Structures are given as structure tokens and as C-alpha cells.
Amino acid sequence: MNLRVNSDLWAGFLGLVFAAGFWFSMGRLSNLSAVFPETILLLTAVISVALLVKGLLNPDMRVLFEEGNRLRLVVVTLILFAWWWGIGFLGFVAASLIAFFLLVCYLAAAQRQVTWKLAGIWACVVVAEVAFFYIVFNKLLYVRPPRGLLF
């Protein structure tokens, strides 16, 4: 199925829906803790409005899912949803380590043969990335990541 859409218009519209949904569900935050999420939501809204304007003034009609492997898109989406669910069940650290290692190996397998040595190197990179985000959020920003069965 070749569905042609104005991608800028749709991206802008969905970005505004996303920003509005999070804005109204944020609840009450203290002044200091609200700075980061409010800034991100404001930037998302500004970029979304810019995309809407560009989509109206200079429409760019594209075929949806014309490029790339559809199966790979579905598998990556399922892994990301499993990660989201796993954060609540296993905790941020464990779910992130598992999900991102699976993502790296799965996406790399499309381009090359994944060996144990290569998987080991990627495992180290994934551990370093998760540790970096854990340290930044937990130790520097004092935002505790969700805990679960493992962490």
C-alpha cells in the first residue's frame, strides 16, 4: 500500500498532540523540578508549530514506509515497547541493559554477522551508556530511575 501524506504536517500535528498530552498530565511540580520538562515541552511545541507552518507553505508529499525494512521497524518497535514495560517490572537499569543490547545485536545483524567478540564489545558499550545515564540522572540531577525486581 502506497499512502502519500504531507509528512511535515503530520509530524507537526503529532508533535503538538504529544506535547499537549504531556503538558496536561504533568501535574504539580516545584519550580525547580519543572524547568527541564517544561523546557523540553516548549521546544517540542515550537518545533511542531514550525513543521505545521512548513507543511502548509511548502507541502512535501511522501510515501509512508517507502524506505527501510518493515519487519525491522516492527521488531524495533516491539523491543522498545518491551523496554517501556520492562522498566516498571525489572527496573530502569536491568530493562535498559537487556533492551538496548537486543536492539544493537538485532540492528547490526542486518548489516553484518554478529560474532561473540563483537557482541561482547557492544555489551560493554551498552553498559557504559546505561551507567552514564544512571549517574547523570541519579547522582547529578537527583532523579531516581524506576526500580523493579532487579534494580
Q: What is the pTM of this model?
A: 0.64
Domain boundaries, the chain: 4-63, 70-140
**Res 65: pLDDT:** 66
Do 1 and 63 touch, CB atoms closer than 8 A?
A: no
Burial of 122 (0-12, 13-18, 19+ CB in 10 A): middle
Of 12, 84, 96, 102, nearest in space to 48 by CA: 12
Amino acid at 112: R
Write out the chain's pLDDT in tens, 151 residues. 577 888 899 899 999 998 888 888 776 666 666 677 788 889 999 999 999 999 999 888 877 766 667 788 889 999 999 998 988 889 889 999 999 999 999 999 888 888 999 999 999 999 999 999 999 888 887 878 778 776 6
Of 115, 83, 86, 116, nearest in space to 102 by CA: 83
